[in-house]
Amino acid sequence: MPDHEGDAEPTAPAFAAVWLDTSGDTPVLKVYDGQDWHAEPTEATLPFGLRARKENPGRGRGRGRGNGRGAGKGVK
């Protein structure tokens, strides 16, 4: 959820503020780094065939499901 939504950048934004810039045909999510606004990659702005990575802590390789080589399935 953005901190601000509109066609003009917010005045006096806090560090890491999030703004949904609606000034163009396609809304762009931007983050403030303390000096400038930077567009965040989304599926709409990535090259064809790529997808934006969505972080999902706790669902990585090797977390509680073995190593994928039969460990824990009676294999010796």
For the chain, how big is the Rg over CA atoms in Å? 20
Q: Which domain holds residue 21?
A: 1-52
Structure-token pair, residue 38: 């930077």
Structure-token pair, residue 6: 């509109």
Per-residue pLDDT band for 50 (boundaries 50, 70, 90) equals low
pTM to 2 decimal places: 0.56
Please report whether residue 65 resides in a domain.
no
Please report whether residue 73 resides in a domain.
no
Please report whether residue 3 resides in a domain.
yes
Please report whether residue 40 resides in a domain.
yes
pLDDT at 66 over 80: no
Pairing of strands 4-6, 28-32: unpaired
If one counts the domains in the chain, the total is 1
Please report whether residue 26 resides in a domain.
yes
Please report whether residue 76 resides in a domain.
no
